[in-house]
Amino acid sequence: MYTEKVMDHFRNPRNVGVIDNADGVGEVGNPVCGDMMTFYIKVKDHTITDVKYQTFGCGAAIAVSSMISELAIGKTLEEASHLTNNMVAEALGGLPEQKYHCSNLGADALHKAIEDYLSKHSDTLLKKENKQGINTTNENGREK
């Protein structure tokens, strides 16, 4: 039913925990199956330097959380925001059809953590872009 890679990540989950003073936090849940995931990220120079998570759910949900944490560490925010549910499932060697929704939660939780980071740092990012001479206004003179 599960691939060996799924079983490995379930039995030996990587990066479990909480990051105190995380730069971004994303939480998702599926009330139908009861799975809940919270992802915490640390960011330096637009790169994810650490990912931790807490997952309440089935073995597939734990394996997905573990895999997405490994896939995200070392990626830029832009690269990590392009990680898809299919990529997570493929990295695990596939998931049973009835458990595929678990991979959706993992990518969604990571994306929410990235969105949280960006919302907290939007002013800083705009100032940095302005110092570099990047135009941050549209043709009407409003911030993009």
Catalytic residue of the set 7, 14, 27, 33: 33
SS (H, E, C) the chain: CCCHHHHHHHHCCCCECCCCCCCEEEEEEECCCCEEEEEEEEEECCEEEEEEEEEECCHHHHHHHHHHHHHHCCCEHHHHHCCCHHHHHHHCCCCCHHHCHHHHHHHHHHHHHHHHHHHHHHHHHHHHHHHCCCCCECCCCCEC
Catalytic residue of the set 64, 102, 105, 110: 102
Is 58 noted as a catalytic residue in this protein? no
Is 33 noted as a catalytic residue in this protein? yes
Task: Give the residue numbers annotated as catalytic, written as ranges.
Answer: 33, 102
